[in-house]
Structure 1
Amino acid sequence: MTASPLDLLVLPAVLVTGRAADEGLAGISDALVYSAMAVYTASLVAYALDLGARRARPRERTLVAAGAAGQEGVTTVEAPHPVGAGGQERQGKAARIGTSLFVLATLLHVGAIVARGLSVHRVPWGDAYEFALTGSVLVSLVFVVLLRRAQRWSWLGSFVVVPVLLALMVATSFFYTEASALSPALQDSWLVVHVSIAFLASALLTIGFSLAVVQLVQHRQEAVLAAGVSPSRFLARVPDSRTLEQTSFQLHAVAFVLWTFTVVAGAIWAAEAWGRYWGWDPKEVWSFVIWVVYAAYLHARSTAGWAGPRSAWIAVLGFACLMFNFFGVNYLFVGNHSYAL
């Protein structure tokens, strides 16, 4: 069979399967994973302390027009967290420590993946353990990019570290496998294309999910505030629910395009590997279910009456489907993707 240009570009670098794994590098990878988990935990503590230590922001009462001419209503406006030179929100000491620890943990995390790949002489995406490592590090990298763009994202740290830590805990406790050669079923250049885009889409969906959860909590806090009850100071620095909703929607919109490409690329790979584009394999079915749920979310978010908490709950459902596709389908169903265990 004649090799395609994509094969000639990618295969020599990633599909070397006849060499034994380097146990020394594999051990270094394992040590780096546990080191990253320890630093992520310290980062989570710092971020949580930053959120919890903030006093509720002062509120100003401003009069705005509401309805008929001459009728006034009262809107509560919360002053932002202190702003420094250049308009950037100034981080508290705990937030700065949390961010520094998070960046260090991410570097250790990346180092673990690189060492794992070098130990097996291929891309480290050959089993569920390696999928969990790589998928979770992309969540961290996306958040680091957000932090580089604006310090105001530091409040989200607690809500990002938790899913990353959980993924690493599950990976090391239940998915761990010894470093080994690539499964023959995965010896294809489409592994790089299909899986890398799926990782990136999943990372964006994870952060979008975190924002949706915080949006739901913040929306409830705003309802409490409207009733005259003092809000929780734990969310004092978190943006209002509308801002959270808009940001979550933007991340989901980008992720949806990437997930669409993931499904299409998977179908093309299936046609090359198994001679058909679609075969109702459990992984294929659930990938399509995820696509449908997020399509419903985007539609609901754009529909009058469904914006706000209702659409956020659909995003939460979509993330639950995403997690089931990764953790549940591989273990509860037998299919063509079972080699990823």
Structure 2
Amino acid sequence: MTNESFAVYTGLTWTAVIIYVLATVANTSGIIFGRSGYEKNGYKLALAGMVVHSILIAYWWRIVGHGPYMAPSEVLSSDAWIAMCLFLIFVRIYPKIKPVSIVVFPSTFLLLALSMLSNPGIRTLPPTFRGIWLVIHIALYKISLATIIIAFAFSIFCLLKRRYDFDWLQRLPEPQAIDVYAYRFAGFGFIFWTIGMLAGSIWAHQSWGRFWGWDPVEIWSLITWLLFGIYLHLRRFFRWQGERAAWFFAFCFIMSLVSLFVTSHMGTSIHAEYFK
């Protein structure tokens, strides 16, 4: 990678981060102080940030010759892009989820900012990392992450609305409605996590001749999947709702972050090849 390429990459990343930060400030101010104009400007800035972010991903894809799923910087950047993209799609379909932007917007710029702490050097794609099933496997997990961030935001809102009486919280839907949104988006994320695991098994069989190898990433992904399944089971058949459901999902969310961002760095994991 030339110095010029690195300068362009850094410049685009910083530009996207700054725009996302401005979008977060405008959007949060609009929600908390009831300024609809600020909130609208926040969405306009978020769209502008996505345009710059899309150019960044496309540019880096052309430089390295593979999708944004190899180096930690690429993974975090694409996670941020998908989180913002899916939220903007969902908010068009379900306008009532707009307040979730107070969590999604800062999550996006934090993920992108964290990507700058990793060396964005060019990684050579190993032979086992080629193939459509790897792309499907990674894409599905990224979609799952984006949706469980939304479910996590609703779980936090559920806890806050029952405990505090802030003005901006009163503009949110009723606790029962918030609880239902948390449940539905958690189910959506669970479906994509499930299919992502299955796609990963097919990729593992094509690459290493086995569907399951008790790799740390595989184990933790299974544990997280089971926890999300327990959460949905408790809600569907044991009528869990409200605070205890929200607290349990918050735990599931933390475990999903460990599964996605921590276990892949374990030296005993074959997935650690991503980060060499």
Q: TM-score w.r.t. structure 2 length? A: 0.92
More helix by share: 2
Q: Deviations over 1:56-109 (max 9, x none)?
A: xxxxxxxxxxxxxxxxxxxxxxxxxxxxxxxxxxx7111111111111112211
The equivalent residue for 1:212 is 155
- Unaligned stretches of 5+ residues in structure 2: none
What residue is the counterpart of 2:247 in the other structure? 313
Judged with a 3 Å threshold, the aligned counterparts in structure 2 of structure 1 residues 236 and 323 are, in CA distance, closer, same or farther, namely same
- In structure 2, the residue matched to 1:149 is 93
Q: Does 2:111 correspond to 1:177? A: no
Distance in 1, matches of 2:54 and 2:98, equals: 21
Give the superposition deviation at 1:132: 0.9
The match for 2:198 is 264
Residues 307-329 of structure 1 deviation map (CA, whole Å, 9 limit, x = unaligned): 22212222211211111122221
Aligned-pair CA distance for 1:333: 4.4
Which of 96, 99, 105 is the equivalent residue of 1:161? 105
> In the alignment, is the contact (CA less than 8 A) between 2:20 and 2:109 conserved in 1?
yes
Task: Measure how far apart 1:195 and its partner are.
Answer: 0.9
Single out whichever of 123-132 and 330-339 deviates more from structure 2.
330-339
Q: 2:42 aligns with which of 90, 98, 114?
A: 98
- Identify the residue that residue 136 of structure 2 maps to in structure 1: 193
Aligned to 1:296: 230
What CA distance in whole angstroms lies between the structure 2 residues aligned with 1:331 and 1:192? 20
Are residues 271 and 180 of structure 1, via their aligned partners in 2, closer, same or farther at CA, if it must alter by over 3 Å? closer
Amino acid at match of 1:49: S
Match of 1:233 in 2: 167
TM-score by length of 1: 0.75
Flag the structure with more relative contact order, 1 or 2, with Cα contacts below 8 A and sequence separation at least 6.
Answer: 1
Letter in 1 for 2:49: A
* Structure richer in strand, relative to its length: 1
- 1-side partners of 2:40 and 2:260: how far apart? 33
Number of aligned residue pairs: 275
- Structure 1 runs not aligned, ≥5 long: 1-20, 55-90, 222-230
1:47 equivalent to 2:27? Answer yes
Say whether the 8 Å CA contact 1:294–1:318 is kept in structure 2: yes
Partner of 1:286: 220
Deviation per CA, 1:208-234: give whole Å up to 9, x if none.
Answer: 11121112111223xxxxxxxxx2113
Distance in 2 (alpha carbons) for counterparts of 1:211 and 1:285 = 28
Q: Which amino acid aligns with 1:213?
A: I
> Tell me, what secondary structure is at the counterpart of 2:116?
helix
In structure 1, how many angstroms separate the alpha carbons of the residues matched to 2:195 and 2:239? 30
Closer/same/farther in 2, CA of residues 254 and 209 from structure 1, 3 Å limit? same
